[in-house]
Structure 1
Amino acid sequence: MLRLQSALGIFALLLLAFALAENRRAVSLRQAAIGLVATFATAILLMKVPVVARAFGAINDAVGAISAASRAGSSFVFGYVGGGALPFDLKVPGADFILAFQALPIVLVMSVLTTLLFYWRVLPPIVRGMAWLLERTLGVGGAVGLSTAANIFLGMVEAPLFVRPYLSQMSRSELFLVMTGGMAGIAGTVLVLYATLLAPLIPDAAAHFVIASVLGAPAAILVSLIMVPETSVRRTGGTLEDPEMEVASTMDAIVKGTGAGIELLINIVAMLLVLVALVYLVNAMLGLLPNVGGAAISLQRLLGLVMAPVCWLMGLPWDQAVTAGSLMGTKTVLNELIAYVDFSKLPADALDPRSRLIMLYAMCGFANFASLGIMIGGLGVMAPERREEINALGLKSIVSGTLTTCLMGAVVGVLS
């Protein structure tokens, strides 16, 4: 019965995406059906054929190498604050992780690498290859497909860096797909951290995080093309012309890539700081209201109540759905890291093993208000002429990212 409940949830979530669509008449039911089949096929392949997941683990090692290289630079410049060896004993696990000095500097490294790869003419052929494949399956242009595929292991800003020269050419639907892909996945830089948190609760947690990252690509395409369907002639398909890069040499590419990365990093930090502060102020105002159930009212609690029925639709028993909804509320208002930490501290009987697995997938995404600040700040710098449109699609991308990860949870519920 719980599997049937998850199956019902899949169609309910897709109907919700359809209800929120900008232009329902433009939604292609054929494309949606293909996207749903692709999502299910990917889930079956990865969950039932472990060797495939291990192959993707090798790709994750490459991302880990980039992360390690970034950590080497940040630890050299910032010392233990940037990830170097601590000069004291760590009292609280995870307290040594500082976002601004350890995770965000990878933006600088990725900015340089993508500039180099474009200058060396490595990325343009990949874009054309992705265009050929995705145009014939899901009807998605190559640049958009490459960004979505890169989101399997990279964050919401690092992945679009691969197609930065193409962002200004994208249609509204394609731009939204890039944003949804970023919100519906996590970066390889934090995958190991989350897997470590949940390893005592869920067997092979690391493998499931890799599977969730891969599964997020077709699921994000499915949801985004329903919510913002394509209504114009696609400009980033297989016939996309390679952009002109104003770079004179390899060293020039390194210098210009670093300069672009610095501007990007500053915008990300500023937007992240402001949005987290605004959420805190809203919670402070809500805290003036009388307590309910012995606790103060907050955005997290309100969203938790809203998300409880969604968790039930994913296949959780109702007596566990409220607890799961609270985790989803924390993940949306704050971030998935705090939600996974709370998840790891739940009593053993709060969620059964199947519900834990579903929630691992449902929370495996960057769809939260803090991430929205990062995305708006990052994409706004990469495509300043599209800044107004990016801002307009921001809140919608949180919804689409959340629907995507919940869809993944429901698919896993059907297969578990």
Structure 2
Amino acid sequence: MNGKDNIGYSNDENDIPLKRRQNDDNFSTLTIGPDSRNEENSNDNNEDNDEPSALMKFYEKNKKIIKFILIVLTHIIVGSYFAYATYFFVDSENKHRTWEIYPDPNNTNITDGRCHGSCGFQFCDGYGMLLIVTCIVYICLIYYYIIKPVTEKPIGRLYDNTIKKILIKRVTKTLTVAKIFGIILAILVIIGIAIYLFIETKDDPKRLVSLAGPFVFISLGYIFSADRQAIKWRPVLVGITGQFILGVICIRWDVGRKIFQCLGDKVVTFLNYSRPGSIFVYGAKLVEWNTFYFALLSVIFFFSFFISILYYLGAMQFVVQKIGWMISSLLGTTACESLNAGANIFLGMSESPLLIRPYLNLLTHSEIHAVMASGFATVSGTVLAAYVSYGASAALLITSSVMAAPAALGMAKLYYPENEKTKTGSNQIQMEKSGDSSILDAASNGASNAIPIVLGIAANIIAFIAFIAFLNGIINWLGYLVGLDNIDFEWVMSKVFMPISWIIGIEWSECEKVGRVIAAKTVVNEFVAYEKLGALIKANKISPRAAGITTFAICGFANPSSLGIMMGALGTMAPGRKKHITKVAMRSFIVGCFVCFTSASFAGLMMSDEFLAEQQR
């Protein structure tokens, strides 16, 4: 045997191989062929053992029956739980109504943030929420598994044979007819809005000054558009009109305001489940002090974890396609940018792109611009509590984010129109399956994937805030040399924002104070701005109307530190698109600011003295 070989050969005619075996005492011995032959036999036996077991054969043979039984059992369990919950709710209401005849002073219905005892039907809590969720789930199941399979083919044939052949083909043959129809529809909408504004402001015509804001911002968008020839007015007009209509629903209609308030509360509750994990890792003090990195950024780990699970289950792909189709059908925008805009109502600018992360590399320049503008125009549910602690109205904050969703897409398509062929239309997105091997693998990878996102956000926010401090120092020094000690970059920007404060509906006598607040938000961040606004409100230095309009004007993430967060987050999710992201970043930042100002203008039109008095209470 050759000494340098690990496998030797005997001298017999069978030339049986010898294998080296390692003993426990770390000495090597040689084994001859029969052992290796036994190993081969054992491998053959293992291959035989890989055949499906009797249980697997039974499952494969009766898969449909087993699936049907499991579905029936699930519905029986859900139905039984719902029936008992209904009985418990009715019984509790009756008992507590009886007890109220002899009230107990030590008894209270509110103990842990939930209603206990006789609290009535509340759609956002307790049995009311269970009823609504159950109804929504079963309506969707009935539609997708019963109504849709039965009616899809007949309706499709009806559409192809009548509507498509007779109406659509005739209309599309003559573009003039379609244009005339669009013009007539736009005129009718304008007339309807004009009538509403006349009725709404006839007792206070000064509120009409707020109309100057949307007119100025839309005009600037057309003048400075990246490609005026490519502007499609449908998303612009529908987006701005949708912003106005949502304002009416959320500000003037009490039911609409309560619905969005409920949704916002539930999102905040869900995201706050990240706090126990943060407290366990970082300690209670760092989290309870709302330290930015340890308290706020930790939400991204939990949210990425959850989104990864939904992708593995296929639920998120379904949501991307359906919600994207719904919004894009109204505005004519693509599925990804539409879903991102809708998600930004409650989620942050670094959490929302996680919903469309697999498609970020496919987005066009205009779509990236729209994604970033939507993030800058809204705030997340995770920071609403901080704003409210400074004195801002929770209802107005939720309303502002809701109004900004369609307007962000509309304004984005005005300032940076689509001039490329999109790859993320609702009918183009492929329902990609997760590459994870199991739900646990998906959860672990989701949490791990958030690490570079969080680090990128932290690095960018440190750098940008430091740069703003540097600018403040330079301008303060230049002012000091000529005897002006209190001048800094924020002071300069407050003078710039005085005219903007006026065109969104602020009285000129209050424009300087409001301009300082808007400048603080634009130059530093919205936390500082809401702190300044709260101080003005407590000192009664601005009117309730000015405070309400300002709440809308600064309700967005458009500030330098958020610019760094956005570029860091998107750059980490799509490293190949960093060049494109930085190219459209500043333009989307400006669009985000203008969307907030447009929301403030519409709010100034709609907020009556009675509404403002109610918010103060």
TM-score (norm 1): 0.93
Unpaired runs of at least 5, structure 1: 85-95, 200-204
- Structure index of larger Rg: 2
**Aligned residues of 1:289 and 1:296 also touching (Cα < 8 A):** no
Report if aligned partners of 2:344, 2:405 keep a CA contact under 8 Å in 1: yes
- Structure 2 partner of 1:169: 362
**CA drift at 1:333:** 1.0
8 Å contact 1:2–1:316 — kept in the other structure? no
Which residue pairs with 2:422 in the alignment? 234
**Structure 2: distance between partners of 1:370 and 1:51:** 36
Instruction: Provide the C-alpha distance between the structure 2 equivalents of 1:173 and 1:308, rounded to a whole number of angstroms.
Output: 31
Partner of 2:460: 271
Deviation at 1:182, TM superposition (A): 0.5
Q: Is the 8 A contact 1:307 1:328 kept in 2?
A: yes
Shift of 1:234: 2.4
Equivalent of 2:236 in 8, 29, 32? 32
Match in the other structure for 2:445: 256
Match of 2:541 in 1: 350
Matched pairs, number: 400
Matched, 1:333 2:523: yes
Choose which of 313, 317, 323 in structure 2 pairs with 1:120.
313
Contact 2:235 2:333 in 1 (8 A): no
AA aligned opposite 2:498? A
- Alignment pair present for 1:223 and 2:411: yes
Cα offset for 1:293?
8.9
How far has the Cα of 1:119 moved from its partner?
A: 0.8
1:285 and 2:474 are equivalent in the alignment: yes
Q: Distance in 1 between matches of 2:225 and 2:507?
A: 29
Residue aligned with 1:162, SS: helix
Residue 70 (structure 1) aligned with residue 261 (structure 2)? no
Partner letter of residue 76 of structure 1?
Answer: F
Aligned equivalent of 2:287: 83
Unaligned runs of 5+ in 2: 1-204, 608-617
Shift of 1:392: 1.3
Q: How much does 1:225 deviate?
A: 0.9
Letter in 2 for 1:405: C
Higher relative contact order (CA 8 A, sep 6+): 1
Identity, in percent, stands at: 31
Residue aligning to 2:339: 146
Query: Does the 8 A contact of 1:361 with 1:406 survive in 2?
Result: yes
Structure-2 separation of matches of 1:162 and 1:271: 22
Counterpart amino acid of residue 228 in structure 1: Y
Distance apart, 1:7 and its partner CA: 0.7
1:202-224 Cα deviation digits (max 9, x unpaired)? xxx11111111111101211211
1:19 positional shift: 2.3
Q: Counterpart amino acid of 1:400? A: V
Match of 1:399 in 2: 590
Residue aligning to 1:93: none
Map of 1:324 onto structure 2: 514
Q: Which residue of 1 aligns with 2:385?
A: 192
| In structure 1, distance between residues paired with 2:509 and 2:322 | 48
Among candidates 497, 513, 532, match of residue 307 of structure 1: 497
RMSD over equivalenced CA pairs, Å? 1.6
Between 261-270 and 338-347, report the one with greater CA deviation. Answer: 338-347
Q: Residues 295, 153 of structure 1: CA spacing in aligned structure 2 closer, same or farther, 3 A cutoff?
A: farther
Partner Cα distance (2:485, 2:401) in 1: 35
**What is the CA–CA distance in structure 1 between the aligned matches of 2:265 and 2:547, rounded to whole Å?**
26
Distance 1:3 1:135 in 2: 33
Residue by residue over 1:142-201, the C-alpha shift from the partner in whole angstroms, topping out at 9 and shown as x without a partner, is 2211111111111110011111111111111111111011101111011122123225xx
Deviation per CA, 1:229-251: give whole Å up to 9, x if none: 11122221211112343211111
Partner amino acid, structure 2, of 1:245: S
TM-score, with structure 2 as normaliser: 0.63
